Amino acid sequence: MLAGERPKTRNATDSRTRLIESAVDVFADLGPHGAGVDEICRKAGLTKRMAYHYFGGKEGLYGEALRYVYDQFLCLEISLASMLLPAEQLLDTLVRRYYEFLDAHPAFVRLICHENLNQGRTAASLDLRDKKAPIITALQLALEKGRADGRFRQDVDVTELLTSIFALCFFYFSNQHTMRQFLGRHAGTHAHMDERIKHVVGLLLHGIANGDDDKRRK
């Protein structure tokens, strides 16, 4: 390898990353139909020729942008120390981590909303079913722990529980602006988000609790 080749490789990688990150922002704001390659390239400070060279056009850029935000979610870590917590505390931790992720990644929320309006056509090509996020592993562990010690119902389906968690968490961010107008609540503030997390965890624990265990404790 010649001495001058490494900077070119690094620049190529940097350019590709800049295009993807710019695409995330532009597609999140305008959606896959409203956004254009011109806007993405202007934001990245790169030429359209490079965008077409790396991604083949807008459709390829959108697919990579969607993959990028999904990868961020799939990298959401739940610490080993948290995995060792009692079931109720572990459930609280994973719900809190998901809320924190959504709060820190507004582009993820908007892109997923756009992709659902797109009927998930591009997401279907990303093979998401074969990928396991740590947050899903943590939920399965929490449910197994709770079932094993008789605190959670045996008939709770982990997929249904996960769907409920996604709905209770994601909706808060995808609809916070209209909720603020409709309900007059300070949705989106950190103080309200903390109240919301406690409320959601309480609902979930109540819904999956073993009624026989409650009777025994009484």
pLDDT of residue 193: 84
Cα 182 from Cα 185, distance rounded (Å): 8
Cβ neighbours, 10 Å, residue 78: 22
Question: What CA–CA distances, in Å, run from 118 to 62, 124, 167?
Answer: 12, 11, 19
Cβ neighbours, 10 Å, residue 24: 24
pLDDT of residue 189: 66
Domains of the chain: 5-68 (1.10.10.60), 76-217 (1.10.357.10)
**SS3 state at 152:** strand
- The pair of structure tokens assigned to 136 is 């899903």
pLDDT of residue 179: 78
pTM: 0.84
Q: What is the CA radius of gyration of the chain?
A: 21
pLDDT of residue 187: 58
Length of the chain: 218
Mean pLDDT, 10 residues at a time, over the chain (218 residues)? Answer: 44 91 97 95 95 95 96 87 89 92 95 95 85 83 91 92 92 85 67 88 94 53
- Cβ atoms of 81 and 91 within 8 Å: the answer is no
Cα 110 from Cα 117, distance rounded (Å): 11
pLDDT of residue 218: 45
Question: What DSSP assignment string belongs to 50-111?
Answer: HHHHHHSSHHHHHHHHHHHHHHHHHT----HHHHTS-HHHHHHHHHHHHHHHHHH-HHHHHH
**Tokens 């919301």 label which residue?**
196
Cα 77 from Cα 54, distance rounded (Å): 30
Cα 209 from Cα 38, distance rounded (Å): 53
Give the torsion through C-alpha atoms of 200, 97, 161, 92, to 10 deg. -60
